[in-house]
Structure 1
Amino acid sequence: MLSLLFALIDRFLLPARAASRAGWLREVIYAHRGLHGPGVPENSLAAADAAIARGFGIECDVQRSRDGQAIVFHDWTLDRLTGHAGSVGEMTAAELGGIGLLDEQGQAVAGEAIPGLRQLLDRIDGRVPLLIEVKSRAGLRIAPLCLAVRRLLEGYRGPVAVMSFDPRVPAWFRRYSPHVVHGLVVTEAGRRTLLARLKRHLALWRARPQFLAYDIADIANPVVRLARRRGVPVLTWTVRTPHDAERAAAHADAPIAEGPVLLAAPTP
């Protein structure tokens, strides 16, 4: 009975008509944090260049520096990706821009430092689609980062979309920047209790996303099937193995991939 109620509300709140603006998301394979690997750090300009050369779309992570700039970086702390101590939010954009990046083997890469979102946009220049994951966590105000991203996207002419695990982010863009395509990132992560299901549906209802980016481990589920029937594009992450690629092809519209499975993907 409860599942039927969830499905009825989902059907009402998934914005099928608005989702038509996000149809371009289905057209490419996305390189997770760019096409990175040995000698090419994740979320770097070099990873963007490598993805562009193969015709892949690019997925990146963005968080806010101490002085309010949108910085392309995944982790909250610097150590894994730079070898430095401290957190992104405690440093200015200029300070972060002077810190070199490490590749997946922990090796420094000459000429590759932490980029700002402006640098990444300038480097891509509309040549391939871009997915921007806006990072958030409990107790963090989302408006300053959303506003910083929106300002940088003003006048950008390439295909671009924002997304987040935090439903407040797509809700913010729906209200204050509706021309920017906005989506919700979803994972079940082993949490399949009734309370966890309710929280996921509440996030969906609050976000009212124009697309979904769903965990590959959880991709075969009723919410995804309903979204696709209503014309809402569904991406899936992170596709790393041939088995993942098969599941993505069966249940989603486009993969967000990395590693050998991405390198083996056909160039458009």
Structure 2
Amino acid sequence: MERPALSEAFFNAPITHRGFHNLAAGIPENSLAAFQAAMDAGYGIELDVQATKDADAMVFHDYDMKRLTGASGPIQMCDLEQAKARTLLGNDEPIPTFAEVLEFVAGRVPLLVEIKDQHGAMGPVDGRLERAVAEVLKGYVGPVALMSFNPHSVAVLADAAPGIPRGITTENWLGEDEQLIPAKRRAELVKIADYDRVGACFISHQASDLDRPRVADLKAAGARILCWTIRSAAQEAKAREVAENVTFEGYVPG
């Protein structure tokens, strides 16, 4: 299986978590304003992709739209027109499509794209969102990498976009939200056993869990190690003992 390497551009500057957002300043997460702020500061961009009911790729983190738009309802139940009619709290931007973000960024900074699990249990995927993302990326020029917490999603990306670097977003699977995932599946995921099967070249691991032996083993075998989410200079210094770069929010790296 082809295993394209992560561009060195991903290690030249810290990566903003959902853009360089600051809601108090009118810059919501995963907005064009947040991406512009990241580019202005010379940072990379991490962003999330969800699907509409017709599998249009939208740049949005949550499954329900309440926190970010003020109106409840799953984004997966909206068609494209309905999703774009929702505006983001903070600056009234519409939820951007992935295609709009690619056109806006235009290769100026690295893009680390997380494909959100669409089925709720980190199980097999239908591949609609992954293929939609791959289609939109055709012809894009600039450093970009794809990742997901769900290895099944990464496996689809290996087929749909074999030339684009891909990785697995990883963690200890002990958080409150993670308890919604079946225990058996969490026990599988924490082993990061699918790394070679899906042709990954990196992981983006939970910063507080970087001392996990499996992370060290992968790094020794050549995996590139990113991490999430850093919120202070002290956390960054600690994470960089293992990780080659950080995804950050809520402070300005030195």
Using the size of structure 1 for normalisation, the TM-score is 0.83
Q: Share of identical aligned residues, percent?
A: 33
By percentage of residues, which structure has more helix? 1
Compute the displacement of 1:126 (Å).
0.1
Aligned length: 241
Aligned pair 1:176/2:160, yes or no? Answer: yes
- Cα deviations by residue, 1:98-120 (Å, 9 ceiling, x for unpaired): 21101xxxxx414x111000111
Q: Distance in 2 between matches of 1:36 and 1:45?
A: 10
Given that residues 101 and 114 in structure 1 are in contact (C-alpha distance below 8 angstroms), is that contact kept between their aligned partners in structure 2? yes
Tell me: CA distance 1:93–1:217, structure 2 relative to 1, closer, same or farther (3 Å): same
Partner AA of 2:74 in structure 1: S
**What do you get for the CA RMSD once the two structures are aligned?**
2.3
Secondary structure class of the residue paired with 1:85: coil
Specify which of 83, 86, 93 is matched with residue 99 of structure 1.
86
> Which structure's CA Rg is the greater one?
1
Change (3 A) 1:245 1:84: same
Gaps of 5+ in 2: 176-182
1:62-73 matches, cutoff 5 A:
62-73=49-60
The structure-2 alpha-carbon separation of the partners of 1:248 and 1:152, relative to structure 1 and needing over 3 Å to count, comes to same
Q: Classify the secondary structure of the residue corresponding to 2:88.
A: strand
Structure 2 vs 1, CA of residues 140 and 226 (structure 1 numbering), >3 Å: closer, same or farther? closer
Q: Does 1:113 align with 2:97?
A: no
After TM superposition, give the deviation of residue 230 of structure 1 in Å: 2.5
Counterpart of 2:207 in structure 1 is 216
Pick from 51, 60, 64 the counterpart of residue 47 of structure 2.
Answer: 60
Give the whole-Å Cα distance in 1 for the aligned partners of 2:248 and 2:160.
30
Query: Quick one: structure 1 residues 254 and 99, their matched pair in 2 at CA, closer, same or farther if it must change by over 3 Å?
Result: same
Residue 153 of structure 1, CA deviation? 0.3
Q: By how many angstroms is 1:19 displaced? A: 5.8
Q: State whether structure 2 residue 145 is matched by structure 1 residue 161.
A: yes
Q: Kindly indicate whether the alpha-carbon contact (under 8 Å) linking 1:183 and 1:209 is maintained by their aligned counterparts in 2.
A: yes
Matched, 1:249 2:231: no
Shift of 1:190: 3.1
Which structure carries more relative contact order (alpha carbon 8 Å, separation 6+)?
1
Instruction: Answer yes or no: is 1:81 the counterpart of 2:68.
Output: yes
SS of aligned partner of 1:213: strand
Report if the CA contact (8 A) 1:142-1:168 is conserved.
no
TM-score for the superposition, normalised by structure 2: 0.87
Question: Which deviations, in whole Å up to 9, do the C-alpha atoms of 1:7-46 show, x marking residues without a partner?
Answer: xxxxxxxx9x936444443232110000001210000000
